[in-house]
Amino acid sequence: MDVKVKLFENVTFQAETRGHTVICDQPLTNNGRDNGMTPPELLLTSLGTCAAYYAVQYLRARQLPTEGLEVDVEAQKATQPARLGRFAIRVRVPDLEERHREGVLRAVKSCLIHATLEHKPEITIELGAPALV
């Protein structure tokens, strides 16, 4: 997987991958123009959509209804260092038997983003010169 992020203007960034583009910005109160989600909001979006995908896959594999499926993700900030310290994922599913509710829960917990956050990934950072256009 590869995503390229370029400065668009001010504190607005354009992220591109596989021909898709996402705009990331800051709210007006943080010197942005509020033209897109902030990086933490994009992280919550990744977690929520991944959880939803795994829930839908479970339900569809068992020919169970997916109507009304919703996922809400909230985060609380922590300090020293500044970070998101607590995530809460709420998955709303159609009325299901208890065994399938447990199955959806297992499926959501195996989501790639959830697993990545649960198991600290290795992150390397390199500094280089701008690419010539």
Q: Band the pLDDT of 132: cuts 50, 70, 90.
A: confident
DSSP for 57-119 reads HHHHHTT---TT-EEEEEEEEETTTTEEEEEEEEEE--S--HHHHHHHHHHHHT-HHHHHHHS
The pLDDT, as a whole number, for residue 130 is: 82
The pLDDT, as a whole number, for residue 94 is: 87
Residues 3 and 56 in one domain: no
pLDDT at 133 over 70: no
Q: Residues 24-80: pLDDT tens digits?
A: 999 999 999 999 999 999 999 999 999 999 999 999 999 999 999 999 999 999 999
- Span between the terminal Cα atoms of the chain, in Å: 23
The pLDDT, as a whole number, for residue 79 is: 96
- Could you tell me if residue 129 is inside a domain? no
Number of independent structural domains in the chain:
2
- Could you tell me if residue 106 is inside a domain? yes
- Could you tell me if residue 30 is inside a domain? yes
- Could you tell me if residue 90 is inside a domain? yes
Write out the residue range of the structural domain in which residue 28 sits: 1-36
Cα torsion angle, 114, 16, 38, 6, sign: positive
Q: Residues 94-110: pLDDT tens digits?
A: 899 999 999 999 999 99
- Averaged pLDDT, 74-91: 97
User: What is the pTM for the complete model shown?
Assistant: 0.91
Residues 29 and 48 in one domain: no
List the CATH number of the domain containing 99.
Answer: 3.30.300.20
Residues 55 and 28 in one domain: no
Residues 48 and 31 in one domain: no
